[in-house]
Chains A and B, each alone.
Chain A
Amino acid sequence: MGKLRYALFTGCTAKQSTPEQMMSTLAVAEKLGIELVELTEASCCGASHLQDYDDFLSLVLNARNIAYAEKHELTMVTICNTCQLNTAMTKHRLDNNATLKARVNEKLGEVGLEYKGTSQITHFLYAIIDDIGLDKVKEMVTTPLSQFNIAPFYGCHNIRPSELQNETHKTPENPYNPRSLDDLIIACGGVSVDYEEKNKCCGFHVELQAPKTSAILAGKAVAGAMDANADWMVTPCPLCHLKLDTQTGHLSEAVGREVALPVLHMQQMLGLALGCSAEELGFKHHVEKVNFV
């Protein structure tokens, strides 16, 4: 097998509010022997909010991002669930609607680009599971996380809508009983914790317009993980991470009890198991202290 190469769509948060996610992505890629070609031309995916405002514009911008991955002739890897959703949704709609694709390409033509539909789009979590394999990951683990009960938090936009999501990776995922993150925890030597909220919503997307709803949903998620005896949580989504990690005070107030757990990015968990240092994984950027490393 040659070296795995992907076009990396970092999304916005990895470059701003979750720098630790960018650091750990690069650290883990190096350990796994993956080459990531960063799409520095990419714009924001619209995060499902630009889509509320102007559907066509969001399609054009996402198609432009994909067009750059196509130029490299690489699969696009995302590290944010919401980037994954909006990019994969764009691909799905354009690949299944020739008229829409032509309209979008008419615009892209104005800047000398074309969306062809030749690049696949997959979240880093599934790229690792599909292209490296959990057995191989397990072999590479140098520091098994065997002393930890780890609560997986999947994030909506990696598992729903399942029809779309299952187009983007080979290992099928059932949104009512997802396995990918549990299996990664187990491959890292950890104990995966089962709790009701693991495939539920963190509320991030209504943080500004419905702060109470948002805080209750996130609070319930952390409470669920705590009650299931988790030592920490892990998520493949930086938006879930922000919601669960940065404002435990609000969450506690919303659910009427103290809720707080360290929350790791999927890449950080994997990085720990593969022997990366705390510095490389950027734990100093967490608001809820990562107190066990």
Chain B
Amino acid sequence: MSTNKITTQKVNFKVFRFNADEDYLPYYENYDMEVTSEEVVLDILNRIKWDHDGSFSYRRSCRHGICGACAIQVNGRQTLACKENMSNMIELFGNELTIEPQSTKRAVKDMIIDKGDFWQKHDAIKPYLISDIDENPEHEHLVTPEEAEELNEADLCIQCGACHYACPVVEVNEDFFGPAAFAKAYRFEADVRDNAHTTRLLELHEEKQGLWDCVKCFECAEACPKDVNPIEKITKLHQMLFREGVATSNVATRHAVAFKHSIARYGVLDEGGMVLYSERAAIVKHIPLALNMFVKGKIVPPWGITKSENLDEIQKLIKSSSTAKF
């Protein structure tokens, strides 16, 4: 039995309210409540509905961090309401908490959002095993523990959307598939039973969906309540494209490879050369910026770059350690 004493604190909740059928604009309702250290965020949503306003709407189902229905935002942090302890929230943000839906611009009623974009993108990556299976197989398709390990827990995703709506690129580019869809794609790409391998990988590599547009902010890794670490999976998809030798040349793939070339030559980056290698003829669009930077002493010509000392070590290591193909 826990020896921790249950404590109570007064918390002010500022709660997002909106009914798309009736309201022109959303508004925030204030609720002051005594909160015990034992409660989770979902308990607060229940208490708002049961004790204060029966019309308050939110999604909930399992209460065990499995169904992913109750994800919302607390002070801008994507939060699975049934999993997050109130005492953690108070410790993080203090006694004034703002409760909002995952994406305020997609709100339908209070905490309930239209999650259509999430599901469309999730479906678009073919989130299932694609495999020719004998109708009457004589053997099981055995997966070794080592092979199962390759999924890197990508299969733990509960589709709550926390990473998707935490992603700043999803916010500004509606074509971007987002961290959840890419992590799901990895889950099947890494599965030895899947036969769609290169086909799915190359479809993902299409520029529009933006596999290469991830800004590397780690918001998704931070937001995920199941520690799926979507950005790690996006990185692994990038590596897979190179490892399998199917990455085609675009500005992003050339940019990644340019690092190797520059490091091999100088140890450090040749910043201008990197842009030229990545952009090719399109470098002309960077000329005005480059001139601005040049007059401020921000551009070092290739002959002015200070090479790393013991560069021969770096060159030797690149030769002996590099495995990617491009």
Contact = CB atoms under 8 A, between A and B. Distances in A.
Range for the number of chain A residues in contact with chain B: 35 or more
Given A201-B168, A213-B172, A156 B297 contact: no
B215 A205 contact: yes
Interface in B189-221: 210, 212-219, 221
A276 B247 CA distance: 49
Interface in B266-280: 267-269, 271, 275, 278-279
Contact of B242 (A13, A18, A53, A208): A53
Interface residues of B, number: 67
B305 interface: yes
Contacts of A213: 169, 172-173, 176, 213, 215
Query: Which residue of A15, A19, A44, A286 has the most chain B CB atoms within 10 A of its CB atom?
Result: A44
B257 interface: yes
Nearest to A50: B259
Contact of B320 (A42, A107, A287): A107
A59 B57 CA distance: 48
A160 B318 CA distance: 29
Contact of B313 (A53, A56, A64): A64
A60 interface: yes
Contact of A205 (B216, B242, B269, B275): B216
A15 B306 contact: yes
A13 B271 contact: yes
A209 interface: yes
Query: Which residue of A203, A213, A217 has the most chain B CB atoms within 10 A of its CB atom?
Result: A213
Contacts of A285: 296-298
B251 interface: yes
A50 B256 contact: yes
Given A54-B322, A205-B215, A177 B296 contact: no
A176 B219 CA distance: 10
Interface string B153-190: 00000000000000011001100100000000000000
A57 B321 CA distance: 5
Interface string B32-43: 000000000000
A113 B321 CA distance: 15
B298 A43 contact: no
Contacts of B120: none
Contact of A43 (B210, B263, B299): B263
B88 to A, nearest CB: 10
B263 A287 contact: no
B215 A54 contact: no
Contacts of A161: 218, 221-222, 229
B312 to A, nearest CB: 8
Contacts of A17: 271, 293, 298-300
Contacts of B249: none
A175 B92 CA distance: 10
A161 B309 CA distance: 32
Contacts of B221: 160-161
A223 B212 CA distance: 26
B298 A201 contact: no
A228 B151 CA distance: 44
A46 B321 CA distance: 14
A196 to B, nearest CB: 7
Contact of B256 (A42, A43, A49, A174): A49
Contact of A49 (B77, B255, B298, B317): B255
A209 B215 contact: no
Contact of B308 (A19, A42, A56, A209): A42
A216 interface: yes
A55 interface: yes
Interface string A4-46: 0000000011011111000000000000000000001111101
Nearest to B288: A249
Interface in A165-209: 174-177, 196, 200-201, 203-206, 208-209
A225 to B, nearest CB: 16
Given A17-B298, A18-B298, A61-B314, A53 B308 contact: no
Closest 5 CB pairs of A and B: A160-B218, A201-B217, A52-B238, A209-B252, A50-B259
Interface of B: 75-77, 92-93, 168-169, 172-173, 176, 210, 212-219, 221-222, 229, 235, 238-239, 242, 250-252, 255-257, 259-260, 262-263, 267-269, 271, 275, 278-279, 289, 292-293, 296-300, 305-306, 308-310, 313-314, 316-318, 320-324, 326
Given A107-B321, A203-B168, A205-B214, 10 more contacts: A41-B310, A43-B263, A43-B268, A44-B262, A57-B324, A61-B318, A111-B313, A161-B218, A200-B217, A216-B172
10 contacts: A12-B268, A15-B268, A17-B300, A43-B314, A156-B216, A156-B217, A160-B218, A200-B217, A209-B251, A210-B212
